[in-house]
Chains A and B, each alone.
Chain A
Amino acid sequence: MINFDYARATDVADAVRRIAADPKAKFIAGGTNLIDLMKGDVERPSRLIDITRLPLKTVEETTEGRIRIGALVPNSDLAYHPLIEQRYPMLASAILAGASAQLRNMASTGGNLLQRTRCCYFYDIATPCNKREPGSGCSAIAGINRMHAILGASEACIATHPSDMNVALAALEAKVLVSGPAGERAIAFSDFHRLPGDTPDRDTNLEPNEIVTAVELPPRGFATNYTYLKIRDRLSYAFALVSIAVGLELEGSTISEARLALGSVAHKPWRDKAVESALRGQVADQDTFALAADLMLRDARAHEHNAFKIELARRGIVRALTQAARGTPQSQSDKRVA
């Protein structure tokens, strides 16, 4: 870790001013990803601007029935918040599927959105990586790539976004509220993270000097028919090979509304509105689910070591849709997959 300077922001405007004054400065909140990357010299900020004292720590219901989650709400507090447990259990479940209790106590809502990939080449500064050092090449394409993307990758980068929480936020159609020199704006969740294209160094559409202030959930929470199914190498405390968030609304056995998002298969949480449209109006049965899985993976492409992820995703989608339709969501402590 290189030496760096440290300052505390007093309010959001002060944070934006401070980040704009130093192009090599970074915000720090929970620090669970940033400090780790700094220890490996992957991140080398000149200055850390501590935003943990900003008043962004509440979960509140708005007058329109939306839930506004402050960017500094710790992951554990969010997962166990009564409003989230009762109305958005898919989100609570996804959060509890990720990291460890200690890390969830530290990690913030905004920081979870901004976490970097866990591609081992991104972490290894001795190897080329277009995300870490634009133009240097991608070591994963011809390297060890069993964890890597099967959807939306490019010739420049096949890294995946590792978050669990973000997969649920994508399925729930959250909005990201940000503040910057030009004022405040809301970014639809599907527009927040980017595909790699030829600029994999940019993970998100957050502009320089903007700060995430909140995440907002729409009223629809899919609290009856949902699941978050995470498939990984260990039963706990491991990043996903594939994860699946599902929210359904049913009228009898017919699907009236569907949400489906995949994690750890692409550079961003993968959601496909064509698949959700195809599910609407269909009978919630295995044939429908199998067709949806095929459609979701129609453009999937494997690399040398990760072809298994396509079949894993296919089966996982069918299983997750089944769990949601039955109203038997995946437990995050009893790991048997029913």
Chain B
Amino acid sequence: MARETARSTIPTPGRIPVTITINGAPAQLRIAPWTTLLDLLRDHLDLTGTKKGCDHGQCGACTVLVDGRRINSCLTLAVMTDGATVTTIEGIAADGTLQALQQAFIDHDAFQCGYCTPGQICSAAGLIAEGKAKSVDEIRELMSGNICRCGAYPNIVAAIQQAMGRS
């Protein structure tokens, strides 16, 4: 029906040149308009630390920082980040030393399967930078965009509290 017809008749637009600084390194890329930032990271650049959970902005596994702000990379078109600075879980640690949040997640056993963890840590890094969460209630509310199906929430909150104390 119309769906298949549309797929077959719409011409393929050319790839669009962009420059994105990813984990400190500028990358010059040519990207199809419909490539999400998540797919660019995972499928084109082999940065598979960022996870695809729901692919609809509901689970937070794909959270990365764009210009220092936490966003859902699954709902972001890569072409729209031209000129931006992107930080993924691979860029959180500096010089092979775990960042305070990463160490806190280990200290508090803040994961079980670990699939949501890169998103949790990037989201928590954004939360700490925003500086709005003071209480446990506020941490929980402002982390509600990150789902953990293993249910490690109490330990995640404890880890974030520890990292907030250090930062």
Contact B33 A48 (CB under 8 A): yes
Contact A100 B33 (CB under 8 A): no
B102 interface residue per 8 A CB criterion: no
Question: Binary interface profile of A, 1-35, with partner B (CB < 8 Å = 1, else 0)?
Answer: 11111100000000000000000000010011001
Residues of B with C-beta under 8 A to A120: none
Given that A3-B10, A35-B36, A36-B56 are contacting pairs, would A101 and B80 also be in contact in the complex, using a CB cutoff of 8 Å? no
Question: Binary interface profile of B, 100-142, with partner A (CB < 8 Å = 1, else 0)?
Answer: 0000000000000000000000010011001010010110111
Residues of A with C-beta under 8 A to B36: 35
Contact A6 B141 (CB under 8 A): no
A278 interface residue per 8 A CB criterion: no
Given that A50-B80, A102-B60, A106-B75 are contacting pairs, would A125 and B16 also be in contact in the complex, using a CB cutoff of 8 Å? no
Contact B63 A2 (CB under 8 A): no
Residues of A with C-beta under 8 A to B10: 2-4, 46
B167 interface residue per 8 A CB criterion: no
Contact B3 A41 (CB under 8 A): yes
Residues 133-163 (chain B) with a chain A CB within 8 angstroms: 135, 137-138, 140-146
Contact A31 B137 (CB under 8 A): no
Residues of A with C-beta under 8 A to B3: 2, 41, 44, 125
Query: In terms of DSSP, what is the predominant structure of the interface of chain A?
Result: loop
Given that A101-B126, A102-B123 are contacting pairs, would A333 and B135 also be in contact in the complex, using a CB cutoff of 8 Å? yes
Q: Give the size category of A's interface with B.
A: 35 or more
Contact A102 B55 (CB under 8 A): no
In the assembled complex, the CB of A255 is this many whole angstroms from the nearest CB of chain B, namely 31
Residues of A with C-beta under 8 A to B32: 3
Contact A2 B13 (CB under 8 A): no
Residues of B with C-beta under 8 A to A136: none
Residues of B with C-beta under 8 A to A52: 80
Residues of B with C-beta under 8 A to A28: 77, 80
Residues of A with C-beta under 8 A to B7: 2-3
Contact B80 A4 (CB under 8 A): no
Contact B145 A4 (CB under 8 A): no
Q: Give the CA-CA distance A48 to B132 in the complex, in Å.
A: 34
Residues of B with C-beta under 8 A to A334: 137
Cross-chain contact of B141 among A2, A48, A76, A236 (Cβ < 8 A): A236
- Interchain Cβ contacts within 8 Å, total number: 105
A237 interface residue per 8 A CB criterion: yes
Cross-chain contact of A102 among B11, B56, B72, B135 (Cβ < 8 A): B72
In the assembled complex, the CB of A90 is this many whole angstroms from the nearest CB of chain B, namely 18
Residues of B with C-beta under 8 A to A331: 137
Residues of A with C-beta under 8 A to B48: none
Cross-chain contact of A5 among B13, B138, B140 (Cβ < 8 A): B13
In the assembled complex, the CB of A330 is this many whole angstroms from the nearest CB of chain B, namely 13
Residues of A with C-beta under 8 A to B70: 101-102, 105
Q: Give the CA-CA distance A317 to B69 in the complex, in Å.
A: 36
Pick the most buried of A36, A39, A102: most chain B CB atoms within 10 A of its CB: A102
Contact A39 B56 (CB under 8 A): yes
Given that A32-B57, A103-B72, A333-B137 are contacting pairs, would A4 and B34 also be in contact in the complex, using a CB cutoff of 8 Å? yes
Cross-chain contact of B145 among A38, A48, A100 (Cβ < 8 A): A100
B12 interface residue per 8 A CB criterion: yes
Pick the most buried of B16, B57, B126, B127: most chain A CB atoms within 10 A of its CB: B57
Q: Give the CA-CA distance A44 to B144 in the complex, in Å.
A: 30
Question: Binary interface profile of A, 45-89, with partner B (CB < 8 Å = 1, else 0)?
Answer: 010101010000000000000000000000010001000000000
Cross-chain contact of A36 among B6, B57, B80, B144 (Cβ < 8 A): B57
A332 interface residue per 8 A CB criterion: yes
Q: Give the CA-CA distance A148 to B127 in the complex, in Å.
A: 34
Residues of A with C-beta under 8 A to B19: none
What are 15 A-B contacts defined by CB distance under 8 Å?
A3-B7, A4-B10, A4-B13, A6-B16, A31-B76, A31-B80, A32-B75, A35-B75, A44-B6, A50-B80, A52-B80, A80-B132, A100-B60, A102-B63, A106-B76
10 A-B pairs closest in CB distance? A100-B145, A6-B33, A236-B144, A237-B144, A333-B141, A5-B13, A333-B137, A333-B138, A105-B69, A102-B145
Q: Can you name 9 extra interface pairs (CB under 8 A) apart from A39-B56, A334-B137?
A: A3-B12, A3-B32, A28-B80, A31-B76, A32-B72, A100-B60, A102-B60, A103-B75, A105-B69
